[in-house]
Structures are given as C-alpha cells and as structure tokens.
Amino acid sequence: MKALTRDTEDLFSTWQVNPSLPIAPQAYEFLRQCIVDNTLPPGAPISEGIFATQLKISRTPLRTAMQQLAGEGLIVTRPQVGSVVAMLDTERLEEAVFMRSVLEEAVVRRLAERGLDRQVLAKSFAVQKLAADADDYATFFQEDEQFHAKLAVLAGVPNTWRLVHSVKGHVDRQRFRMMSGIPYRSMRAYRDHLKIVRRIAAGDGDGAALEMRKHVHSVLELVPDNGTLLQLQAQLPADDG
C-alpha cells in the first residue's frame, strides 16, 4: 500500500515550483494537498513570511493561494494576527457532505434524464479498477476526482463540479485522516461508482441519486463524535504547552 501522508519535516522539500507557469495556483494546490493529507495538521500556523521564504516564492502568490483556501474554510485568517489550518469540525464536515451530496445528486438526476453513453466512462472505470485492485489510493483518488468532474460535464453543468470541489477539501481531509491504514478502501468507492452509473444508464434518476447520496455520505461512517474529534486535534497544539 502506497504512502498517503508526508512527514512535516520534509514539507518544503517536496515543493518544486515550475517558474514558467503561474505560481499562485501551484502554491494553492500544494497547500491544499498538505492540509488534506494532514501534513499541515489542524491548528498549524501558516505565516505568510515564513512560508514564502521556505517555498522560495514571494508573499504575493502565496497570499493569493491562502485567500482562496480561506474562502473554502480550510484556513482561518485573523487580520494582523495570523493564519492557521482550520480545526476539524464535525458540523462543518456534515455541511460539506450535505452540499456536495445535494449538488451531485442533482447532477446524476440530470444525467438520467438526458441519457448517458456509458462508453465515455469506460476508460475511467478501467483506471479506477486497476488502482483499486493495486490498492493504489493516490491514483484512485486522482481518477475519482476526474470521474465526478466528468459526470458534471456530461450533465451539462460543468461549473457544478467547481462548486463541489470548493467544499470537498473538508471531506477529503477527513477521508485521509480516517482511512489511513485501511486496506483496499478504494474498492468500495469503485463499486459505488458502478452502481451510480448503472442507475443512470437505466434512466433511474431517483435510484442514481440515492446511490450517489450513499456514496457521498459514506465518509461520515468513519467520523467519531465531536468530542473524540476535539480530543484528537487537541493533542497537536498542546504539545508545547
């Protein structure tokens, strides 16, 4: 099973900027991934000055990235004080699941109405199956994003995926946190995808929506109650107290 998380120590060593492309989006992707895979744990301070220096970029593109992450709620910025990675919050997670589920249910309903050529998803399913069989979660995760995005495109509402993606960080963070060490956890998602598309192809909008709902909500099964959650992240900032 391939590694999911990185050590905080070599956080900056994994960063390699491509100077011929805009820096801000690269910084955004990097920071988002660090937060999602808990390399930057909840409560971790993110100083613009320090990070810009360490990442060998200026504060400007880093700020652009951080402002976007703050908009998604993955970073909390207090003016003139500092920014930290957002704490884990069950309510926030449940709301993210709510929003995502509602949007993606509507997408598959549209697809069921408009019809869907299953062939166009064949390649994606092939990649998913390979990754799931090999228990290569990193690859599966990547293809999973492509799959969901493609559903929105095929439904004629491509921007809907952008909206889903903007709330998905909270979900992914929880997934990475709770699923580390669970083998073959991508297999279930693969089967969920199959079920969803089968319902769509059958023209069964309600059924497809229900399968999508179960699929999206499955992450909540792994979430402990809020008390346990607060305990978990309480370890981190209290270490030096």
Partner DNA sequence: CCTTTAATACTAGTATACCAGTATACAGAA
Partner DNA sequence: TTCTGTATACTGGTATACTAGTATTAAAGG
Cα–Cα distance between 212 and 106 in angstroms, integer? 10
Nearer to DNA, 77 or 139 (CB): 77
Total interface residues for its own copies by CB under 8 A? 26
Residue span binding its own copies (CB under 8 A) among the ranges 152-160, 176-184, 192-200, 230-238: 152-160
User: What residues form DSSP beta bridges with 85?
Assistant: 75
Amino acid at 154: L
Q: Look at residue 157 and give the partner it binds from its own copies, DNA, none, a contact being a CB closer than 5 to 8 Å depending on partner kind.
A: its own copies
Radius of gyration from C-alpha coordinates of the chain = 19
Burial track 144-180 (b if 16+ CB lie within 10 A, e otherwise): beebbbebbebbebeebbeebbbbbbbbbbbbbbeee
φ/ψ of 3, rounded to 5, equals: -70, 145
Tell which positions 11-30 bind DNA, by CB under 7 A.
20, 22-24
Cα–Cα distance between 60 and 49 in angstroms, integer? 10
- Exactly one of 3, 58, 98, 114 binds its own copies (CB under 8 A); that residue is 98
Is residue 82 helix, strand or coil?
strand
Tell which positions 57-86 bind its own copies, by CB under 8 A.
60, 64, 67-68, 71, 73, 79
| Closest approach of its own copies to the CB of residue 160, in Å | 6
163 binds its own copies (CB under 8 A): yes
92 binds its own copies (CB under 8 A): yes
Q: Which helix (H) or strand (E) holds 76?
A: strand 75-78
Tell which positions 100-129 bind its own copies, by CB under 8 A.
102-103, 105-106
47 binds DNA (CB under 7 A): yes
Give the binding site for its own copies (CB under 8 A): 22, 60, 64, 67-68, 71, 73, 79, 91-92, 95-96, 98-99, 102-103, 105-106, 156-160, 163, 166-167
